[in-house]
A and B are shown apart, each in its own frame.
Chain A
């Protein structure tokens, strides 16, 4: 059975350990479904997730609580009769043990749910195996983050979220004299990848894909040498919990200082000159960071919103071009 995940912070390793096939929803075939009109304030990604759940009643869709719209999206999917929709409580705080306990308990609850749908018991050895495979794939992809073209890298990460494999295309030589940019924000998936081309046409290049479905989504890291508090080796389940809780980086965290701490060295190392903040219309969590990103890193920030239809409007193309032109003319300021 396919289990579709609405967030990269819902561990696919755990799903595989139950003998099921996890797929990042944003990387799935037939996603997004046909674009439909959005009511005011509705996020296109959340709406697409609901429609997908409505249309795939035999599959399982795991919604995440990290945003209003996905929380209520699950409510709606269940109201529409989707019996295989599960809402995973992803904690937003991270500085107390409570957050880890919530995450651990939710994984256990998810496991029960998966087993009720025919999943197998996740034996430790199976889980460890999945963690090792995942860790290897993540490492391989991260190593290629700056070597591949932005579009190829995005495609490779999407493939990882679709089937767990990491195939990295050959390195691409970055054209000279392109302004290095960071793309920061929410989920960015295949229909929106022409954005990379638009950026390059304008004279920029995404050297840091810090979207929810880009490099940031590879953050979870599994420390098999860790020990539990009682000095016994940590179980694979412990490794999974710590691997996500200690390394997850996203805007919804409170405080979201981890996001800024993650961005800072990468912006500096890749000599990023400007940030493109990308989010779906209706996403307050990302939109609110516009000014803070500017103030924190001292870099120009361009805000791009996505609606139901992919692609930039001519107005947005002009803004992007103007943004890059401004950077071309400006004295470089590095984060």
Chain B
């Protein structure tokens, strides 16, 4: 039996098809988020089924997660992204004890017990400064794409210090830094450090390794290193981090069916 997980995030909708018998991902895809998110999610789901050569009726269960989960009426049920990311990371890196997930509009630190159960979690509920939105703002301001931004950060020799808590004011600060001649790679690296420090503040004093990093922002090279520096421990990037939530949802769908959830 095949199960589906749909993660309706703030910037993108991600979907996966999961085969629990083979413990493998059959298909994964994403689409930009929009106003008609149920239609967008449905289209994505159906496309994945088609690509995998499956009929809709062969999908035994669908769980929706993420910011827009409650709008996806075709899902059997909804589970929060905290639980889904925890399950997804545990599926891929079972030794993980702390998950850092940085998405488009929020960031989370999730503590796991043995067996991958969530013990505790904290979420950024203050502002966008600890989220992917900050990087997006910089990319837009610098008229760059995501990949170019990442490459720049790796060239930094002396990351700038971005002191503002608010991403709006931080934007002004960054413009000021660039105007005063600060090298662009240092500014971008500074932004990555600012995100990492906000997340580290949320994590508090006790971060139990191994630490796994997931969410869309984990695709940015340099972010994991920035987190390692502030947390003072190794940080592993989860494979295909943008799909962890959807994967977790699909795995939970299969476990639910088997009565484990």
Q: Do chains A and B touch in the complex (CB under 8 A)?
A: yes
Q: Does A40 contact B (CB under 8 A)?
A: yes
Q: Are B172 and A315 within 8 A (Cβ)? A: yes
Contact between chains at B173 and A314 (CB < 8 Å): yes
User: Which residues from chain A contact B173 at a C-beta distance below 8 Å?
Assistant: 313-315
Which residues does chain B contribute within 8 Å of A36, judged by CB atoms?
A: 197, 200-201
Q: Tell me whether A39 is interfacial, beta carbon within 8 Å.
A: yes
- Enumerate A288-323 residues with CB–CB distance to B below 8 Å: 307-309, 311, 313-315
| B-contact bits for A187-214, CB 8 A (1 contact / 0 none) | 0000000000000000000000000000
Check A98 for interface membership: any CB of B closer than 8 A: no
Task: Name the B residues within 8 Å of A307 (CB-CB).
Answer: 163, 165
Minimum C-beta distance from A32 to chain B (A): 14
Instruction: Say yes or no: is A174 at the interface (Cβ < 8 Å to chain B).
Output: no
Chain B residues positioned under 8 Å from A315 (CB to CB): 169, 172-173
Tell me whether B201 and A38 are in contact (CB under 8 A). yes
Q: Are A37 and B126 in contact (CB under 8 A)?
A: no
Chain A CB within 8 A of B26 CB = no
Chain A residue numbers with a CB within 8 Å of B60 are: none
Interface size on A (CB < 8 Å)? Answer: 13
CB-based contact A39/B201 at 8 Å: yes
Name which residue of chain B comes closest to A307, CB basis: B163
A313 and B164: CB pair below 8 A? yes
Interface contact A37-B163, CB-CB below 8 Å: no
Report chain B residues within 8 Å CB of A311. Answer: 163
Q: Is B27 an interface residue (CB 8 A)?
A: no
Q: Give chain B interface residues in 144-176, CB to chain A under 8 Å.
A: 161, 163-165, 169, 172-173, 176
The answer to whether B201 touches A37 (Cβ under 8 A) is yes
B79 contacts the other chain (Cβ, under 8 Å)? no
Beta-carbon contact of A314 and B172 below 8 Å: yes
* CB within 8 Å of A: which B184-213 residues: 197-198, 200-202, 204-205
Q: Is the interface of B mostly helix, strand, loop or mixed?
A: helix
* Measured CA separation A88–B186 after assembly (Å): 44
B-side contacts of A37, CB under 8 Å? 197-198, 200-201, 230
Q: Which residues of A contact B204 (CB under 8 A)?
A: 39
A39 to B198, CA, bound (A): 8
A314 to B176, CA, bound (A): 7
B99 CB to nearest A CB, Å: 19
Tell me the dominant secondary structure on chain A's binding face.
loop
User: Could you tell me the distance between the alpha carbons of A314 and B198 in the complex, rounded to whole angstroms?
Assistant: 21
Q: Is the CB of A39 within 8 A of B202?
A: yes
- Cβ contact within 8 Å between B198 and A309: no
Nearest CB on A from B75, distance (A): 34
Residue of A with least CB distance to B204: A39
Contact of B161 among A38, A309, A314 (CB under 8 A): A309
Expressed in whole angstroms, the Cα–Cα distance for A40 and B200 within the complex equals 12
Q: Could you tell me the distance between the alpha carbons of A36 and B231 in the complex, rounded to whole angstroms?
A: 11
The distance from the CB of A309 to the nearest CB of chain B, in whole angstroms, is 5
Closest CB of chain B to A69's CB: distance in Å?
15
B120 to chain A, nearest CB (A): 15
Cβ-defined contact, A40 with B126, below 8 A: yes
Residues of A close to B201: CB separation below 8 A: 36-39
A39 nearest in chain B by CB position: B201
User: Using Cβ atoms and an 8 Å threshold, which residues of chain A touch B230?
Assistant: 37
CB neighbours (8 Å) of A80 from chain B are 205
Taking CB atoms, residues of chain B closer than 8 Å to A308 are: 163
CB of A130 to closest CB in B, whole Å = 38
Q: How far is the CA of A207 from the CA of B171 in the complex (A)?
A: 35
B22 to chain A, nearest CB (A): 43
Q: Smallest distance from the beta carbon of A75 to chain B beta carbons, Å?
A: 14
Instruction: Fill in one digit per residue for A13-50: 1 if any B CB lies within 8 Å of its CB, else 0.
Output: 00000000000000000000000111110000000000
Q: Which A residues touch B169, using CB under 8 A? A: 313, 315
CB closest residue in chain A, given B194: A37
Which residues from chain A contact B202 at a C-beta distance below 8 Å?
39
Given contacts A37-B200, A37-B230, contact A309 B172 (CB under 8 A): no
Shortest Cβ distance from A319 into chain B, in angstroms?
12
Alpha-carbon gap, A314 to B205, bound state (A): 32
A314 to B179, CA, bound (A): 11
* Interface pair A309/B163, CB less than 8 Å apart: yes
A198 vs chain B, min Cβ distance (A): 15
A313–B197 CA distance with the chains assembled, in angstroms: 18
Instruction: Write out, one digit per residue, whether chain B residues 226-241 have a CB within 8 A of any chain A CB (1) or not (0).
Output: 0000100000000000
> Which chain A residue shows the least CB distance to B201?
A37
**C-alpha spacing A315/B201, complex, angstroms:** 24
Residues of chain B within 8 A (CB-CB) of A39 are 201-202, 204
A48 to chain B, nearest CB (A): 14
Q: Which residue of A lies closest to B205 (CB)?
A: A80
Distance between A308 CB and nearest chain B CB, rounded to angstroms: 8
Whole-angstrom distance between the alpha carbons of A40 and B169 in the complex? 17
Complex Cα gap A128–B200 (Å): 49
A53 CB to nearest chain B CB (Å): 13
Residues of A within 8 A of B164 (CB): 313
Tell me the bound Cα distance from A238 to B204 in angstroms: 44
Write the residues of chain A forming the contact surface with B, with a CB cutoff of 8 angstroms.
36-40, 80, 307-309, 311, 313-315
Q: Offer 9 A-B interface pairs, CB within 8 angstroms, sorted by A.
A: A36-B197, A36-B200, A37-B201, A307-B165, A309-B163, A311-B163, A313-B163, A315-B169, A315-B172
- 11 more contacts with CB within 8 A, not counting A37-B230, A40-B126, A315-B173, are A36-B197, A36-B200, A37-B201, A39-B201, A39-B202, A39-B204, A308-B163, A309-B161, A313-B163, A314-B176, A315-B172
